[in-house]
Amino acid sequence: MTLLDAPAFDTVRDRRRRLIIYWCCGTFGGLVIAWWLLAGLPLDWPWNWNYHWRGTVAVDRFLKDVEQNDLARAYAIWNHDPNWQQHPDKYSNYTFARFQQDWGPDSPDNDYGTIKSHMLRAARMYGNVLVVAVLINGRKSKALFLDYDTKTRTLGFSPVELYLGP
C-alpha cells in the first residue's frame, strides 16, 4: 500500500471518538466534584474524603442523639458498637455512667449545659484521626473538639484544637 492508496479520512469517526473522550473526562470530573461536595468540601487529599464524610456523619448523629437525650444510642455511636449493652465490661475505661456525667443535660461536668443545637465548623485530618470542631448552642467562644478514629470508627475527645479564625 502506498500513500496514494491510503483510505480517506473519516470525519464522522474522528468526531465520535473525540465526543466519547470528552464525555468520559467530563463525567469523571463531575463525579470527583460530586464526591468532594458529598464529603463536605474538605481541604485534604482525595483519598481522605471518605474519612471526612464518615467522621462528620458520625459526629453529627452523635450530637443529634445527645440533643434528644438518647444517651444510650449516643454511647453506641461513641464506641461504634450498637450492642454495647451486651458486653459493658469491654468499655471499662470510659463507662456509660461516666459518659452520662459528661454528656447529660443536668450534669455539673458538662461545660455546655443542655445541648440544644450544634454546628460542625471544621474538620481536618491529623495523623490517623479526623479532628472535628463543633460549636455548641451557637457558642462562638470555645468550640468542642472531637476526634474520629478512622480505623476503629470510634469518637473521642481531641487533644488537638483547630484554628477556626477570628
Residue 1 domain-assigned? no
pLDDT, tens digit, for every residue of 47-62? Answer: 889 899 999 999 999 9
The predicted model scores a pTM of 0.83
- Same-domain pairing of 79 and 26: no
pLDDT, tens digit, for every residue of 18-56? Answer: 999 999 999 999 999 999 998 888 888 888 898 999 999
The answer, yes or no, to whether residue 114 has pLDDT greater than 90, is no
The number of beta carbons lying within 10 Å of the beta carbon of residue 145 is 18
- Same-domain pairing of 97 and 24: no
What domain range is 146 assigned to?
44-157
Q: What one-character DSSP code corresponds to residue 41? A: S
Are the C-beta atoms of residues 55 and 150 closer than 8 Å to each other? yes
Q: In the chain, where do the E strands start and end? A: 118-126, 129-136, 144-149, 155-157
